[in-house]
Amino acid sequence: MSYIEIRNIFKIFGPDPKSALELAKGGADKDEILSKTGHTVGLHDVSLSIEQGETFVVMGLSGSGKSTLIRHLNRLIDPTAGSISFGGEDILAMDIPALNAFRRKRLGMVFQRFGLLPHRNVMDNVAYGLEIQGTARKDREAAASKWIERVGLAGYETKFPDQLSGGMQQRVGLARALATDPEVLLMDEAFSALDPLIRSDMQDELMKLQAELHKTIVFITHDLDEALKIGDRIAILKDGKLVQVGRPEEIVLKPANDYVQAFTHDVNRSRVLRAKSIMAPISETDSAATTRDLPTIQANALLRDILPIALANGTAMTVLDTNDTPIGTLSPQQIVDALNG
C-alpha cells in the first residue's frame, strides 16, 4: 500500500450530489450531468497511489479538478463518494480534533497567492505553524531562522510581506510550510503567479530542498513543462477524470490520448528524455563486442547533457547503468529521432 491512497473519489457540486452521483457512476460525463441535473462534476472516479518521498504532480487545464483533488487531501472538502488514507489511516474518519492535529502536524501548505499574514514579519510568518502548535518562542524562532536561511532569506527576518517581491514572498511561504517538519507538502499552483525566471528559480529551489528532505509533495500545476521538470510522477486530469499517470518520460513518449498529446507537443524533449528510455538495449553476451572503445554515458543522463558528447564524438555511445555495466547503445540518429518525436 502506498503512503497516500485515494480510492474511487467522486466529488459532485450542487444541491443533491447523490442523485447526480448515480448518473456519474453510470458513465455520464461532466457536460451531460451539468445539462441534465445542473450539478458540476469536480472529480469523477479518481484513484491514485502516492508514494512516500515522491514529488507527485497533478496537471490539467483550468477547471479540470486539480484544486478539488488537493482540497480532499487536507479535507477542506469531503468527497461525494470514495476513500482517502494517509499511512493506512482513513482521513475521512477523523473527528475535528484529530483533523486539526493532522493538518497542523502532518501537512504543510503552499498557496498560489502566498497566503502570508500581512501584519507579521518574515520571522513571525515562518514561525506561525510552530506558534499554533504551542512551541516556545525561543525554539520556534530558532527553527524559523534555519528555514529562512535555507530558502535564501537570511537578513529579511524583520521585513513585512509587502516589502518583498513575489518570489521572496513565496520563499517565505515555503519556509513556513517546512518549519513544522510536515510529512506532506501540498502545493496548489504555488509558482503559477511568479514571473518565468523567478518561477524557474523556485522550481530549482524546491528540487534542491527535496533532494535532501524527501518529503511527500503533491504539487498542482497547469503547466506541463513545470510538471515534467519537478515531478517524479505526473497525473493528468481532464473534466474531473484521470487520463494518465506516469513518469515524465512516459507522458512524453506514450501520451494516453490526444488530450495529453496536445500538451506534450511543444515540450523541450531534451530536458525530459533520458538515455535509458531511447537507447537500443544490448544483452550481456554481446556487450563487450558492441561497446568497445565507444564513449560512455550514464543511463539516467538527460538528452540535453548527452548532446554535447554526441556532437563532439559523432559516434554511437555506450549506455552504462549505475554499476557501470553496459546496457545499451545510443546513436546520433536515435537522438535526432527522439528529439523529433
Ligand X SMILES: Nc1ncnc2c1ncn2[C@@H]1O[C@H](COP(=O)(O)OP(=O)(O)O)[C@@H](O)[C@H]1O
> How many other CB atoms are there within 10 angstroms of residue 322's CB atom?
8
Residue 208 cell numbers, joined:
534542491
Contacts of residue 118, defined as CB under 8 A and 6 or more positions apart, other chains included, come to 160, 161, 162
Q: Which is nearer to ligand X, 65 or 248 (CB)?
A: 65
What residues between 41 and 80 interact with Mg ion by CB under 5 A?
66-67
Q: Which is nearer to Mg ion, 70 or 316 (CB)?
A: 70
Q: How far apart are CA 247 and CA 127, in angstroms?
A: 35
Q: How far apart are CA 281 and CA 138, in angstroms?
A: 58
Asked whether the beta carbons of 160 and 125 are under 8 A apart, the reply is no
**Residue numbers at the binding site for ligand X (CB under 6 A):** 13, 40, 42, 60, 62-68
Q: Which does 13 bind (CB under 5 to 8 A by kind): ligand X, Mg ion, none?
A: ligand X
* Run of H or E including 170: helix 166-179
Residue count, binding to Mg ion (CB under 5 A)? 2
| Smallest separation, CB 4 to ligand X (Å) | 18
| Smallest separation, CB 34 to ligand X (Å) | 9
Q: Which does 323 bind (CB under 5 to 8 A by kind): Mg ion, ligand X, none?
A: none
| Smallest separation, CB 191 to Mg ion (Å) | 13
Q: Which is nearer to ligand X, 61 or 213 (CB)?
A: 61
Q: Which does 60 bind (CB under 5 to 8 A by kind): ligand X, Mg ion, none?
A: ligand X
Q: Which does 173 bind (CB under 5 to 8 A by kind): ligand X, Mg ion, none?
A: none
Bridge partners (DSSP) listed for residue 6: 48, 84
52 Cα distance to chain centroid: 13
Q: Which is nearer to ligand X, 126 or 236 (CB)?
A: 236
Q: Which is nearer to ligand X, 58 or 172 (CB)?
A: 58
| Smallest separation, CB 273 to ligand X (Å) | 27
Q: What are phi and psi of 238, to 5 degrees?
A: -145, 125
Q: Which is nearer to ligand X, 178 or 228 (CB)?
A: 228
**Packing angle, helices 30-37 and 17-25, rounded to 10:** 140
Q: Which residue carries 561497446 as its cell?
A: 291
Bridge partners (DSSP) listed for residue 57: 219, 234
Q: Which does 246 bind (CB under 5 to 8 A by kind): ligand X, Mg ion, none?
A: none
| Smallest separation, CB 243 to ligand X (Å) | 13
Q: What are phi and psi of 273, to 5 degrees?
A: -80, 140
| Smallest separation, CB 165 to ligand X (Å) | 25
Q: For binding to Mg ion (CB under 5 A), which residues are involved?
A: 66-67
